[in-house]
Amino acid sequence: MNMAAADPGTGVDLAVLTQYGVLGIFAILLIIFARTAYKRETDRADRLEAEVTRLNTLIAEQAIPGLTLATQALDESTQLIKDLHRERELDRLRRLPLREIE
């Protein structure tokens, strides 16, 4: 790295910082670290955002239709159980003598 060149990311002339000796070098290292860490974190955020988008699409395309079908099957089975229960109750009432129904 050419320390005499101006740092385009921060607008700081790194050569000026070297005039301060050890403190200047620490400042240069801090600037380099901050730029590297910022770039790494923004790349990571972009990658994770793309993954979230992919997973949301997957859920919308596969999980939601599957859950819809499961809900419909559950509604149908509930209705069948109600019908079966009603038929059993009617059969039971038909077997009783007329005086016990009243």
**Predicted TM-score (pTM) above 0.85:** no
What is the radius of gyration, based on Cα positions, of the chain?
A: 37
Q: Tell me: the pLDDT tens digits for 38-58?
A: 999 999 999 999 999 999 999
Is 84 domain-assigned? yes
Lowest-confidence pick of 1-15, 47-61, 70-84, 85-99: 1-15
Residue 7's H or E segment, with its range, is: strand 6-7
Q: How far apart are CA 52 and CA 65, in angstroms?
A: 19
* pLDDT, average across residues 13-28: 79
Confidence of residue 1 (pLDDT cuts 50, 70, 90): very low
Range of the domain at 33: 6-101
- State how many domains the chain has: 1
**Would you say 28 and 18 are in contact if contact means Cβ atoms under 8 Å apart?**
yes
Pairing relationship of beta strands 12-13 and 6-7 according to DSSP bridges: antiparallel
| Residue 86 placed within a domain | yes
The answer to whether residue 94 is domain-embedded is yes
pLDDT attached to residue 3? 45
Q: Does 1 map to a domain?
A: no
| pLDDT single digits (tens) 7-17 | 555 566 777 77
